[in-house]
Amino acid sequence: MLLAQLLDRAGTGVWAAACVLYFTFVVGLDAGQVGILLGASGVAGIAGSPLAGHLADRFPVRSLLIGAHLLRLVTLCLLLVVTDFALLLPVVAVTHLGDRAAKTLEMLFATRVAGERRATYQALSRSSANAGYALGAGLAAIGLAVGTRGAYHVLILANALSFLVAAALVWRTREPRGSGLLTAPSPAPAPSPAPAPAATTEDPAPSAGRSPWRDRGYLRFVLLDIPMNLDDSILGIGIPLWLVSHTTAPHELIPAFLVVNTVLVVVLQLRVSAKVQGPRQAAGAVALYGITTLLCCVLLAASTGGGVRTASAALLAASVLVTAAELMRSVSSWELAVSLAPREARASYLGVAGMAQSVQKSAGPLLLTGAVMAAGPAGWLALGAAVAGLSLVQRRASLRRLDSLAASPAPAAAPAGAPA
């Protein structure tokens, strides 16, 4: 499965690096049409996660994941022959919907296979994904250097091929036995020094079979998880645009941010995951996410003063801090999404949780370019303070819900011979 993820992300990295230029120079779309195309794909992606979770409660996750890979294979091949803007809209939208659905299904599969070791699996998964993205970006650079229509078509076919091979690798894996996404029960938590009945009263445990859309406590977690994903937009959009428009740092520094991020994630991901075990420590990592994001934003605000060296040092340090925030997110977000969901309905709950990243990918760039950077250094300070404050709210709310779930009676175990 990790190899399938690496190939999937490599193909995605190829397309991410080439899609804007392909639509502009090969298809002939103007900037406005490209923006609408990418915006529509982002909206479609938001629906991909809950749809995947809903279907995973009813069908085998492995079969659904193979279907998501093959769906993207078909839509990418359609891009080779579709050049009309009106027809491109649904093709690109369905491609992105399949992309987000596949990512959610991969994590649902990991939740079943890894069980209580999901934090370690998540670390391995992120390291594999980062390596795949780096490989894809490198391959795309070769095709973009050639710059011909044929070269762009080769990049699209390479992406499609990655999905075909990924589907074959998933087909070779074994679907775990069991119903839904039930995993082995977690060890009983150590008794607290003092009971906290107020937490149970304020955030009652969800009842069996309850829809995540009616679970206010879980929806609050998902809503607060959206700003806990902003590191992605800060690294990919915020820091590069801030360098270009508000600092004296050289433009050649921009690729270094991604290099720093990739190296640190690959080197530190497993070590960080080993330090954060269980949902309560994951809740603590959320607070650390807020602190590191705040420090990153302070450095970005300070990078406008001084000369080239000062600005460059501040921006590089900011890229290190936003990577630290990403590491905190990687060991907290999915662990809490799993732990805060009722065991008998995890698939549908995790599908809703996956919306947080999709919403951030659509709204995050608009927030940074339309509000934060427009306000100058004060915008970064306000953003950092807001994320830090919300991280404390998320930590407190998560601990309360964990107390509620621990106090509620455990559901009956599924029969051993239940179908997958």
- Give Cα separations from 282 to 3, 119, 203, 340, 358 (angstroms): 26, 10, 19, 11, 21
CA-CA-CA-CA torsion sign (113, 116, 120, 122): positive
Q: What is the pLDDT of residue 177?
A: 53
Question: Given this chain, do its domains 2-172 and 213-407 carry the same CATH topology?
Answer: yes
Which superfamily, per CATH, for 2-172? MFS general substrate transporter like domains (1.20.1250.20)
Q: What is the pLDDT of residue 205?
A: 55
Q: What is the DSSP letter of 210?
A: -
The pTM of the full predicted model, rounded to 2 decimals, is 0.76
DSSP assignment of 154-167 equals HHHHHHHHHHHHHH
Contacts 24+ apart (CB under 8 A), 79-86: 79/156, 80/153, 80/156, 80/157, 83/27, 83/28, 85/29, 85/33, 85/37
Please state at what angle helix 279-302 crosses helix 308-339, rounded to 10 degrees. 160
Amino acid (one-letter) located at 171: W
Which superfamily, per CATH, for 213-407? MFS general substrate transporter like domains (1.20.1250.20)
Radius of gyration of the chain (CA): 22
pLDDT of the chain, 420 residues: tens digit per residue: 778 888 888 888 788 778 878 888 889 888 778 878 877 888 888 888 899 888 988 888 889 999 999 999 999 999 999 999 999 999 999 998 999 899 888 878 877 766 666 666 777 777 777 778 778 877 887 887 888 899 889 989 988 999 999 999 989 887 655 444 444 444 444 444 444 444 444 455 555 457 888 899 999 999 999 999 999 889 988 998 899 889 999 888 887 887 888 889 888 888 888 888 889 999 999 999 999 999 999 999 999 988 899 999 999 999 999 999 999 998 898 889 989 988 878 888 888 998 888 888 888 888 898 889 889 999 999 999 999 999 999 999 999 999 988 877 655 544 433 333
Tokens 């950092």 identify what position?
384
Q: Find out whether 116 and 39 touch, Cβ atoms under 8 Å.
A: no
- Give Cα separations from 159 to 9, 97, 335, 338, 404 (angstroms): 9, 16, 30, 31, 45
Amino acid (one-letter) located at 135: L
Query: Domain-by-domain residue ranges, the chain?
Result: 2-172, 213-407
Q: What is the pLDDT of residue 237?
A: 84
Kindly give, in sequence order, each residue whose CB lies less than 8 Å from that of residue 101, ignoring residues fewer than 6 positions away: 48, 49, 51, 52, 64, 68
